[in-house]
Chain A
């Protein structure tokens, strides 16, 4: 018997992804050279301010970018195939079965005029190989799994009859119905109460762990990311500036932006006076002369060197930063 530890196999590997949006006021370079991977059974958080490109990254991987968006370079390797090169038909086969997504607002993502049990059954019939006859029973099983009380009755409900937390559980049931290999959760708990948020996050974590699912979790809440994710990827203006295991990032963030983001996050031990904001804003991504480091305009540690193309530095185990003058 060979006691070689199982090498972590990336379930999804995004390489050199760049995305542009064509708008009336010019081309917006929304993502540039984004590289990250998610292992089987691993949960990776994408964090950053609004406009940092978290959701666009997810949408590009899922092939659901807005018509104005265009992938200009890169690959997203998933199960031996490049998702970005798949035809719409092949991608549609993958989505729902292998790739799944939980959207931010369950009330707008669910079909308002279809009973929730039917919505789960639809996915099972389309992607899960279930027949129209046994799908309703399987849907009720899914409702049990996401711990909806009285599932037989709730399957007959319309989304407006359920609370926000319950709608989000329905979304999770739909997303996990076919046991996907990769789940993307885009701010799944924004707008929910903290008590509900905790229950939903536990549930996603549990079901993901059970099925060995890879999860990308998009959030702007660093504490939430640290509590539930194995690794955190920090994005700023379409660049990945730092990627590290959650604990390491909190203990010792090396990129100036990550450090500032941490200092702005309210926590248990800091007072309001100790907290600091991040000066400046995101650069205008339409500019033709965008600096190599898009944070350099806001950075206190800027050097002349920062005008050169960004380095990818490995500073610890699975800890990568893109900075010339790290902390």
Chain B
């Protein structure tokens, strides 16, 4: 059987934005009954601000940035757990942004994007055995049951290196690494094209982390999935990712092949990020950069000011008047900085 594969990237995100309305000084009731003067629009928190990028078939893209930069919101938008304010999410040619997140669980596209959550202990149902957890998405999305289902679950356990005799155990009877395997088996059970990994090894010891990372690498090769890999740990991103996206306050500020970005970061924020990776031999580090201050407020940001202005060691008056846009810098790289 030959499957018609649409040309172009697997995932194409264009000008995707998510704004949350945040509290105002006036109560909702006061606003609703205020006839005298026109009310000002409620403040908006720009969680993800017009982000565009693509993920190719079989590619691993790393998403890095500090907490609060909008990584998780972006992931939830792509995974269709949240509805975007504007923009498009195209998966292999199909527009997903038009479907409501509320109904997406029953959507035929649901099986195409799956996710491995950060902490396997928190994301597994404590009342489900490992087998139940893995079988659940297959039952719901592939309508499989009976011996077929059992065989499929066993096959998935084998693929993820989970001993079959552990399938009847509950999460509290499994170790951290075993729970991580269950989380991965459950996510790949419905043969997704895109797998989103949200810090899959953050809760694991280094000795177990290696095994899980190697397993993910192997599964990608065998199953031809694409990965969106969200992580704090830049050393892990460097190991696993082909390309990396750097986010800062809702904006992508730099992207490019992982090796190039790590060797020669162009955006000042990326430079600070890479300079902050702990190193066993600190004197080998080129340039030491520490960020002072706190990020700017993401609530109704001034559209003319660079989001990094104020913390940026470069910051010039121009940065406060003219927000730098993401523009090409080299063959496959893009940077949003006037000085890169």
Interface residues, chain A, CB within 8 Å of chain B?
49-50, 147, 149, 163-164, 166, 193-199, 202, 220-224, 226-228, 246-247, 250, 260-261, 264-268, 270-273, 275-278, 281
Contacts and interface: CB of A to CB of B under 8 A. Distances in A.
B208 A277 contact: yes
Interface string B268-283: 0000110111111110
Nearest to B240: A272
A266 B233 contact: yes
A134 to B, nearest CB: 29
7 contacts: A49-B207, A50-B205, A149-B293, A227-B278, A250-B281, A266-B209, A266-B239
B210 interface: yes
B294 A163 contact: yes
Given A266-B238, A275-B210, A195 B280 contact: no
B279 A268 contact: yes
Given A149-B293, A195-B273, A271 B239 contact: yes
A264 B207 contact: yes
Contacts of A250: 280-281
Contact of A227 (B282, B291, B292): B282
Given A195-B272, A195-B291, A224 B278 contact: yes
B159 interface: no
A196 B66 contact: yes
Given A196-B66, A198-B275, A266-B239, A277 B210 contact: yes
A194 B239 CA distance: 17
Contacts of A197: 276, 278
Given A227-B282, A268-B235, A202 B207 contact: no
Contacts of A193: 66-67, 232
A275 B232 CA distance: 20
A195, A221, A223, A275 — most chain B CB neighbours (10 Å): A195
A281 B177 CA distance: 11
Contacts of B205: 49-50, 220
Given A195-B276, A264-B207, A164 B239 contact: no
Contact of B280 (A149, A194, A223, A278): A223
Contacts of A202: 290
Nearest to A276: B210
Would you list the 8 A-B pairs with minimal beta carbon distance, nearest first? A198-B276, A266-B235, A278-B207, A193-B66, A224-B278, A226-B280, A223-B278, A194-B276
A198 B238 contact: no
B16 interface: no
A271 B272 CA distance: 23
Interface stretch (B7-15, B87-95, B98-106, B211-219): B211-219
